[in-house]
Structure 1
Amino acid sequence: MRSRTALIVAASVLAVVVLSVALAPWISPYPPAQQSLAERLAPASPTHWLGTDHLGRDTLSRLLEGGSFSLAVACAATLLTAALGTAIGVVSARRRGWIDEVLTRTSDVLLALPEMVIALFVVAVLGAGPVSLLLALAVTGWTPFARLARALAYDVSSRGFVEAARVLGCSPSFVVFRHILPHLSGPLLGQAALRFGQFLIAVGALSYLGLGVQPPQSDWGSMLASAQPYAARSPLGVLAPGLVIFTVALCVTLIGQHLAALAGLRTLLSLAPSRRGSDV
């Protein structure tokens, strides 16, 4: 019961944040880049619900604008790494032999390297920007998907219906798309939700270091960096983007854990008939 309540709350909060960011051009009280030096570092008020920054820009408007970049990069990185990692994992499990060995050892090496250090190196080489951030997250981000997909594909490939499809002359691509990938979708969806939260925090960290969007555009990480020197005078400038990053990451992680639990239960139920049959 508690897990269901937490799931409903997390999904509701996440839906509100995503909808607010999507409608930002229409619901933002002020243009995000509009400056008013006479109102710099103003506290929360009916005219500025979250106050203003050191240039007099409305914090709420910039928070809504910055969410589109942070969420878009995290979502794109999740989709890219999930597709790449799943493809590598399935190919490794199906081909086996030296292909499996090379792909597995490659993922092991990348897993041993700190993701943030690799991301910093990639962005430093390619320069700041959304494409650089996306590539930096994708360099090592595909490895958890690949290992999970490989393990699951190994298990599904040994099942009787896959062997029957092969004996009947079905093509390898048909077997993969019709029999293997549907059994991988649940666990991989849960993994994707968990990775999205990690990518969102990584995007915020890289933007905090000045490797994300460039002024006058904003995202949640850059807002943290620009507001930090004035945290004593205007704490909302730091608290607002920090709490949004934390809240969205927490909500997506809770949803991912629930999806992963459901996927595990589904896998156990799908294996139950074959176990009973083998016992007979």
Structure 2
Amino acid sequence: MSPAALHAWLMTERPQSRRQAALGRAYGAWRTFARNRLALAGLLIVLALVVVAALAPWLERYSPFEGDLRTTRLLPPSAAHWFGTDDQGRDILSRVVHGSRITLFVVVLVAVLAAPIGLVVGTVAGYAGGWVDAALMRITDIFLAFPRLILALAFVAALGPGIENAVLAIAITSWPPYARIARAETLTIAQADYIAAVRLVGASPWRIVLRHIMPLCLSSVIVRVTLDMAGIILTAAGLGFLGLGAQPPMPEWGAMIANGRQYVLDQWWVAAAPGAAIFTVSLAFNLLGDGLRDALDPKAQR
């Protein structure tokens, strides 16, 4: 099939099968996304983060955990150490590269834990209504009443410092916005004629929620998760900065900034490199989220 014929097949307004319709929607979303150059730049940076995290053991020129205090302590950026070295003589570039694995681990695990919880709570509350809706939304309001970082600090203080506990604390504090979005979508979808038809043929409430409402709420939740990635990264870095996230000698970016704050005036590169990494990755996720919001909007013109 020629490119022109494939394009016409995908963009037809009368698909002949569910597969053709699904591929056509995906193709139209990609065309909308690809027109946003900033979103493409964000996607490329995120893909670069994934590649760097996957290839970190082969990209590191020096050990990210060990250094030489006598010969390589606090060296400025040079051909031998592109980002300089820290107060323990460790190569900062190697630590930033290895720290990308920790950042990606936090981001993926928080998204996997928090998004399904918010999606289930929101769809169940919106479809059930009544006291179930009131109870679930009041619990959501309690979590939303506290700033995310403060609430995460409270949970980490109770659970103890460590990267696993930090991930759990961030996930516990991240699900309420997803529940709000899913509930708002569900209230609209539940009034649609096709939901009434499914109900008339005898489908149970759980089947309606799981098979017919959740898939329609998924795109909005995905967009919100992508936009929240920057906040998740900053929260994880904040916990690391305070010594409640990844523990030494793990090269977590927030902990690296905390380690370099006492040298920020004279040896600025110690804190600047991880700070630049946090800024770049956070900006990339925001750009990617903006592009996905435009691409997945059902009202957008293809």
TM-score, normalising length: structure 1 = 0.91
Question: Are 2:243 and 1:210 equivalent residues in the alignment?
Answer: yes
Question: Are 2:107 and 1:103 equivalent residues in the alignment?
Answer: no
- C-alpha displacement at 1:60, in angstroms? 0.6
SS of structure 1 residue aligned to 2:246:
coil
Question: Are 2:180 and 1:151 equivalent residues in the alignment?
Answer: no
Whose helix proportion is higher, 1 or 2? 1
Give 2:221's aligned residue. 188
Residue-by-residue CA offset, 1:32-71 (whole Å, 9 max, x unaligned): 1121111111111111111100111000111111121122
**Which residue, 54, 76, 90 being the options, matches 1:57?**
90
SS of structure 2 residue aligned to 1:142:
helix
**Which residue, 50, 53, 62 being the options, matches 1:18?**
50
Question: Are 2:262 and 1:226 equivalent residues in the alignment?
Answer: no
Report the residue type matching 1:105 in the other structure. R
Question: Are 2:68 and 1:39 equivalent residues in the alignment?
Answer: no
Give 1:275's aligned residue. none
Q: Which stretch shows the higher mean deviation, 11-20 or 214-223? A: 11-20
Change (3 A) 1:137 1:86: same
Q: Percentage identity across aligned positions?
A: 35
Aligned length: 268
Aligned-partner Cα distance in 2 for 1:182–1:198: 25
CA contact (8 A) 1:10 1:254 kept: yes
CA contact (8 A) 1:75 1:196 kept: no
CA contact (8 A) 1:78 1:195 kept: no
Map 1:63-74; keep pairs closer than 5 Å: 63-74=96-107
CA contact (8 A) 2:42 2:286 kept: no
Aligned-partner Cα distance in 1 for 2:35–2:147: 32
Map 1:117-156; keep pairs closer than 5 Å: 117-156=150-189
- C-alpha displacement at 1:203, in angstroms? 0.2
SS of structure 2 residue aligned to 1:216:
coil
Give 2:232's aligned residue. 199
- C-alpha displacement at 1:122, in angstroms? 1.0
SS of structure 2 residue aligned to 1:144:
helix
Aligned-partner Cα distance in 2 for 1:140–1:24: 30
Map 1:227-266; keep pairs closer than 5 Å: 227-264=260-297, 266=298
Q: Which runs of 5+ in 2 are unaligned?
A: 1-31
Aligned-partner Cα distance in 2 for 1:268–1:6: 18
Q: Which stretch shows the higher mean deviation, 156-165 or 11-20? A: 11-20
Map 1:68-107; keep pairs closer than 5 Å: 68-107=101-140
Residue-by-residue CA offset, 1:207-240 (whole Å, 9 max, x unaligned): 0000111111120000001111112232121111
Residue-by-residue CA offset, 1:82-108 (whole Å, 9 max, x unaligned): 110000001101211101001111111
Report the residue type matching 2:166 in the other structure. L
Q: Which runs of 5+ in 1 are unaligned?
A: 270-280
SS of structure 2 residue aligned to 1:90:
helix
CA contact (8 A) 2:81 2:93 kept: yes
Aligned-partner Cα distance in 1 for 2:296–2:262: 45
SS of structure 2 residue aligned to 1:33:
coil
- C-alpha displacement at 1:135, in angstroms? 2.1
Question: Are 2:56 and 1:29 equivalent residues in the alignment?
Answer: no
RMSD value over aligned CA atoms? 1.7
Report the residue type matching 1:6 in the other structure. L
Aligned-partner Cα distance in 2 for 1:27–1:175: 48
Change (3 A) 1:268 1:162: farther
- C-alpha displacement at 1:3, in angstroms? 6.4
- C-alpha displacement at 1:268, in angstroms? 6.9
CA contact (8 A) 1:231 1:238 kept: yes
- C-alpha displacement at 1:139, in angstroms? 2.5
SS of structure 2 residue aligned to 1:39:
coil
CA contact (8 A) 1:30 1:58 kept: yes
